[in-house]
Amino acid sequence: MDSNLRERLFWVFWCSTTMLTGILAGFLTSHAIMFGRFQTWFIESGNVDLFHETYTVFRAANSPQTLYDSFFYMALASGIAWTALAFLLRRDRIIAAIAGLSTLWVSIAFFVSGFGMAEDEVMTGVADSGTTQFFMAWNVPIHTYFAVFYAVSLFLLLFVALRYAKVLARGN
């Protein structure tokens, strides 16, 4: 692969990684501000049975998780490609390791913490009371952390372009 092609691919994957990181920051901010709080309130208000009856039907009928997860998978693939190119070109490697792989770090935290399994059990209505309590305690804080991490990652990714624009401006 010639250096011109690598450079072009670097910017193509930077663009897709930046765009998808911004979308995920928005998803998770919305979840932390509204949907996660609504879920927690619904369960805390003593309506856990109604929540399971309604949300599981909605989830089965509309498959919102499929669309939601597709953005995570695209961000993961794009981020890995951009990070690999950043290391290959020896550019922005620290930012690539943090922001380019942000979806990898979020996924690891989501599953290693056990929250992913707890969330799935609560959303499908099979969670016991301990799992439900764990979910309620962690739902908003973990999604808030993810939203902040994605927002910081987005700013780091934008910094790459700003620094490049500054270099171009000096060259002209």
Report the C-alpha gap between 30 and 9 in whole angstroms: 31
Report the C-alpha gap between 67 and 51 in whole angstroms: 21
Report the C-alpha gap between 33 and 35 in whole angstroms: 7
On the question of pLDDT at 102 being above 90, the answer is yes
- Element (H or E) spanning 24, and its range? helix 3-30
Report how far apart the first and last C-alpha atoms of the chain are (Å, whole number): 28
Position 31 confidence tier, pLDDT thresholds 50, 70, 90: very high
For residue 1, what pLDDT is reported? 67
Phi then psi for 98, rounded to 5 degrees? -90, -65
- Mean pLDDT of the residues in the chain: 91
For residue 77, what pLDDT is reported? 98
Task: Identify residue 32 by its one-letter amino acid code.
Answer: A
Task: Identify residue 48 by its one-letter amino acid code.
Answer: V
44-65 pLDDT tens trace: 888 888 888 888 788 778 777 8
Task: Write down the H helix ranges in 31-63.
Answer: 36-44, 48-62
Domain ranges of the chain: 3-171
Least confident segment among 19-28, 49-58, 99-108: 49-58
